[in-house]
Amino acid sequence: MCCQFGMWNGRTDPSDDPPPPGLGLYGDFHTIDWVREKARDRHRHRKISSKKKDSRWDYVKWVLDSWSGWLVVTLTGLAAGAIAGLIDIAADWMSDLKEGVCLTGLWLNREQCCWGSNETTFEDRYTCPLWKNWADFVIGQPDGPGSYILNYIMFTLVALAFAGLAVTLVREFAPYACGSGIPEIKTILSGFIIRGYLGKWTLLVKTVTLVLAVSSGLNLGKEGPLVHVACCCGNIFSYLFPKYRTNEAKKREVLSAASAAGVSVAFGAPIGGVLFSLEEVSYYFPMKTLWRSFFAALVAAFVLRAINPFGNSRLVLFYVEYHTPWYLFELVPFIALGVFGGLWGAAFIKLNIAWCRRRKTTGLGRYPVAEVLVVTAVTAIISYPNPYTRMNTSQLISELFTDCGPLKSSPLCDYVSLASNDSVEPGAGGDDVPDRPAGPDVYTALWQLAMALATKIPLTVLTFGMKVPSGLFIPSMAVGAVAGRLLGVCVEQLAVQHRDWIFFRGWCHAGADCITPGLYAMVGAAACLGGVTRMTVSLVVIMFELTGGLEYIVPLMAAVMTSKWVGDAFGREGIYGAHIRLNGYPFLDAKESEGAPCWARDVMRPRGDSATLVTLRSEGMTLREVEEVVTRCRHTAFPVMTGAQSPRLVGMVLRCDIMIAIESARKKQPGLSDNCMVSFGGSGRSGSESTEVAEGSGSGGDGVTGATLCLRSILDVSPFTLTDQTPMEIVIDIFRKMGLRQCLITHHGRLLGIITKKDLLRHQAHASNIDPPSRLFD
């Protein structure tokens, strides 16, 4: 009764027997074996291809199979674009609900409400009669101190309601919906399984709570969570196609494309999205995936443009066009912004991680709802008095990025016209007026911006990591944009008042409009985002796609490079890496260790005098013995050796596979004796392994009767082996590039030990003197 399972592990010869159920699946919080997944996919593909000429139906199956990759990324792109559009529209509307309502329809946001009104002049646009702030709506009195207080209270209460609803929904229905999701997606893409993280409940709850969280005015963005939302879509659609449903490696190709689509809709930057997926989140990124990611990103961007959530046929609120060139001297302030961004990034990572660790380790973590409510209340109370913090963060960024054109009515554009030497009406300053000394409103605005900076920094640190969906692209960019705009206005005023200084003399003539404060805001935003995430190319490309002009790449690049270098001086990890480490996810980094050289023998287990390696014998063990070993010893994999004297390695077998195979054999053969012999060998004849390598295709294990349970088919006959003198850098390289889960270590052909991905992570943590309090080392 030698049972033979099919070639489910993809390495031995193919056979058509279906594998027992559960074989080849992974448990929650397990690491996948990329080599095995890819081999299984190759086998599946070969089977479908070889059958395609058998019948018309098989041919259709083959065609469907070949096109399913394109189909799934198209669907993902469509869904990501549509959901992003919905979120944009809903968040826009609900943010305005904090301040008032529209009389023509509760479902209209302020801008739509005012479009309907007859007041079409520019100044009246924000005071249109159909839009009532809460004081006006409730007590019929739009202005006055009492109304102000009533508005203030309503603002806080609505924010609290939104935030409270969001955190309750997250806590009750989908705990995975909190945070930005990017650290977890990075981990999942590197080959980890987190069941439900990309499921339909998470998608639904994250979409709803993201809108609530953004509308509540907290210091968080929707850009990071959009990547998570897009990945949920990719995961859900991949369940429609057997090619992706059954194969964890193939599924991750879809997820890579989905994350590109997510960034594409978050920033309106399809190429930036692809590069983000490549640079920041993806792990295994073949060229085919690059092309499909690009496609998904484009589809998503076009769906979002068709929805047109901002009514300006742009994908984001803060798209800009500058018309003035920059000058070489300006690199000095740009690099200064880079230094600021790097410092901000390093400080943010340190403080945020410290705070999140405190949340994890102290009682604070037990009251997520209270925490969110308190932070929301503090945010709302601090934010309301200052117009720059009261507005939506995206709107703030848009305001700061935009240059003062003739149509711009912001207080930041209140420049004095030199001709009349009077403070001109807002809206008349700008590009037309070449010399721009600041008017009084500019100075007020600068103070308000400085206050906004001072409040936003601590609030962002406290907010990221709470139990609501929270991205930090937008808050980081806001910090940088405020700092940049402040610096930009200062440099501009310096230039206006000191045209004879050596810095300005050459290029900033009287009457020339030489400094663009909006560009400074943009460079500052890029620098701060770079400092926090340590992204490089993808960040510059995203910013480039926002401006559309090649000339502004150089300032952006200078600032991003500086910020990365400054940030790296304080710690080489970005915020996502830091959160991965904080949560103890098994993510294998490519970073070079600086310490003493180290070899495989120093990391493998068992090492030194500890217990010897537990192995199985390919012949001669009874079922009871095998079960005993497997039950006693909870290693994930067991090497299988030839007979007792001079043991040599035959292959490797996974613990879960043995369990499933034995269970399945017991089901098939209810009377299977515990004393039945277990054979992992070629054809049951012991000691025949040296010459019969060439045969053994498919039918190798059959034909032997008697009390032998043949488990040859679950044996991995080509385990990876390395010698004990291999440097650890090479070991890590192989694990990363091949996506291994474990590797055997030999010395002079003799098996010495085993290295698993966990051993590597432990080694890396040890090398960096880190002791992560993690799920990983439990």
Q: Which 550-579 residues touch a copy of itself, going by CB under 8 A? A: 550, 553-554, 557, 561
CB 679 within 8 A of CB 711: yes
Residues 179 and 200: their CA atoms lie apart, in Å, by 17
Side by side, which strands form the sheet with 677-679?
621-622, 677-679, 708-710
State yes or no: residue 66 binds a copy of itself (CB under 8 A).
Answer: no
State yes or no: residue 42 binds a copy of itself (CB under 8 A).
Answer: yes
State yes or no: residue 247 binds a copy of itself (CB under 8 A).
Answer: no
Kind plus residue range of the DSSP H or E element containing 641: strand 637-641
553 or 765: CB nearest a copy of itself: 553
Options 29, 291, 329, 503; binder of a copy of itself; rule CB under 8 A:
291
Residues 279 and 296: their CA atoms lie apart, in Å, by 17
Q: Which residues contact 207 (CB under 8 A, 6 or more apart)?
A: 83, 86, 87, 229
Report DSSP state, residue 420: T
The Cα-based distances of 679 to 66, 481, 491, 621, 685 in angstroms read 39, 68, 80, 8, 9
232 or 649: CB nearest a copy of itself: 649
Report DSSP state, residue 529: H
Select the span of 9-17, 625-633, 671-679, 761-769 touching a copy of itself (CB under 8 A). 9-17
Select the span of 19-27, 103-111, 426-434, 537-545 touching a copy of itself (CB under 8 A). 537-545
- Residue 645, number of CB atoms within 10 A of its CB: 5
- Residue 708, number of CB atoms within 10 A of its CB: 18
Least separation, in Å, of the C-beta of 689 and a copy of itself? 6
The first and second tokens of residue 258, run together, are 């989905």
Least separation, in Å, of the C-beta of 155 and a copy of itself? 37
State yes or no: residue 108 binds a copy of itself (CB under 8 A).
Answer: no
Secondary structure of 223-249 in HEC code, one letter for each residue: HHHHHHHHHHHHHHHHCCCHHHHCCHH
CB 305 within 8 A of CB 502: no
Select the span of 6-14, 110-118, 159-167, 232-240 touching a copy of itself (CB under 8 A). 6-14
Select the span of 4-12, 95-103, 212-220, 401-409 touching a copy of itself (CB under 8 A). 4-12
State yes or no: residue 52 binds a copy of itself (CB under 8 A).
Answer: no
State yes or no: residue 727 binds a copy of itself (CB under 8 A).
Answer: yes
Q: Which residues contact 341 (CB under 8 A, 6 or more apart)?
A: 480, 524, 526, 527, 528, 529, 530, 531, 559, 560, 562, 563, 566, 567
Residues 226 and 88: their CA atoms lie apart, in Å, by 11
Least separation, in Å, of the C-beta of 569 and a copy of itself? 12
Q: Which residues contact 454 (CB under 8 A, 6 or more apart)?
A: none
Query: Which is nearest to 763 in space by CA: 591, 637, 571?
Result: 591
Q: Using CB atoms within 10 A of its CB, is residue 775 exposed (0-12), middle (13-18) or buried (19+)?
A: exposed
301 or 514: CB nearest a copy of itself: 301
State yes or no: residue 751 binds a copy of itself (CB under 8 A).
Answer: yes
Residues 693 and 596: their CA atoms lie apart, in Å, by 42
Options 92, 248, 330, 724; binder of a copy of itself; rule CB under 8 A:
724
331 or 490: CB nearest a copy of itself: 331
251 or 534: CB nearest a copy of itself: 534
State yes or no: residue 327 binds a copy of itself (CB under 8 A).
Answer: no
State yes or no: residue 16 binds a copy of itself (CB under 8 A).
Answer: no
Options 27, 140, 363, 597; binder of a copy of itself; rule CB under 8 A:
597
The first and second tokens of residue 657, run together, are 């596979």
State yes or no: residue 171 binds a copy of itself (CB under 8 A).
Answer: no
State yes or no: residue 726 binds a copy of itself (CB under 8 A).
Answer: yes
Options 90, 185, 212, 301; binder of a copy of itself; rule CB under 8 A:
301
CB 759 within 8 A of CB 765: no
Q: Which 685-704 residues touch a copy of itself, going by CB under 8 A? A: 689-690, 693-694
Options 19, 270, 273, 345; binder of a copy of itself; rule CB under 8 A:
270
Residues 436 and 438: their CA atoms lie apart, in Å, by 6
Buried-exposed string 302-330: b where 16+ CB fall within 10 A, e elsewhere:
bbbbebebbeeebbbbbbbebeeebeebb
Angle between helices 537-547 and 248-267 (to 10 degrees): 40
State yes or no: residue 680 binds a copy of itself (CB under 8 A).
Answer: no
State yes or no: residue 287 binds a copy of itself (CB under 8 A).
Answer: yes
State yes or no: residue 749 binds a copy of itself (CB under 8 A).
Answer: yes
State yes or no: residue 4 binds a copy of itself (CB under 8 A).
Answer: no
State yes or no: residue 331 binds a copy of itself (CB under 8 A).
Answer: no
Options 198, 650, 658, 754; binder of a copy of itself; rule CB under 8 A:
650
The first and second tokens of residue 316, run together, are 């984001």
151 or 259: CB nearest a copy of itself: 259
Residues 490 and 329: their CA atoms lie apart, in Å, by 15
State yes or no: residue 638 binds a copy of itself (CB under 8 A).
Answer: no
The first and second tokens of residue 665, run together, are 């054999």
Options 141, 312, 675, 725; binder of a copy of itself; rule CB under 8 A:
725
49 or 312: CB nearest a copy of itself: 49
Select the span of 331-339, 425-433, 458-466, 718-726 touching a copy of itself (CB under 8 A). 718-726
Residues 674 and 626: their CA atoms lie apart, in Å, by 10
Least separation, in Å, of the C-beta of 67 and a copy of itself? 11
State yes or no: residue 591 binds a copy of itself (CB under 8 A).
Answer: no
Residues 439 and 442: their CA atoms lie apart, in Å, by 6
673 or 697: CB nearest a copy of itself: 697
State yes or no: residue 328 binds a copy of itself (CB under 8 A).
Answer: no
Least separation, in Å, of the C-beta of 570 and a copy of itself? 17
Least separation, in Å, of the C-beta of 549 and a copy of itself? 9
Report DSSP state, residue 20: P
State yes or no: residue 351 binds a copy of itself (CB under 8 A).
Answer: no
State yes or no: residue 643 binds a copy of itself (CB under 8 A).
Answer: no
Residues 113 and 103: their CA atoms lie apart, in Å, by 8
Least separation, in Å, of the C-beta of 383 and a copy of itself? 34
DSSP secondary structure letters along 683-733? SS-TT-TTTTTS--SSSTT-S--SSEEE-GGG-BSS--EEETTSBHHHHHH
Options 295, 326, 334, 680; binder of a copy of itself; rule CB under 8 A:
295
Q: Which 22-41 residues touch a copy of itself, going by CB under 8 A? A: 35, 38-39
State yes or no: residue 759 binds a copy of itself (CB under 8 A).
Answer: no
CB 270 within 8 A of CB 301: yes
State yes or no: residue 733 binds a copy of itself (CB under 8 A).
Answer: yes
Select the span of 88-96, 630-638, 667-675, 728-736 touching a copy of itself (CB under 8 A). 728-736
Report DSSP state, residue 593: P
676 or 732: CB nearest a copy of itself: 732
State yes or no: residue 644 binds a copy of itself (CB under 8 A).
Answer: no
Q: Residues 476-505 vs a copy of itself: string with x where CB under 8 A?
A: ------------------------------
Select the span of 12-20, 21-29, 100-108, 367-375 touching a copy of itself (CB under 8 A). 12-20
Options 674, 718, 773, 775; binder of a copy of itself; rule CB under 8 A:
718
- Residues that contact a copy of itself, how many (by CB under 8 A): 77
Residues 335 and 615: their CA atoms lie apart, in Å, by 59
Options 1, 13, 490, 659; binder of a copy of itself; rule CB under 8 A:
13
State yes or no: residue 590 binds a copy of itself (CB under 8 A).
Answer: yes
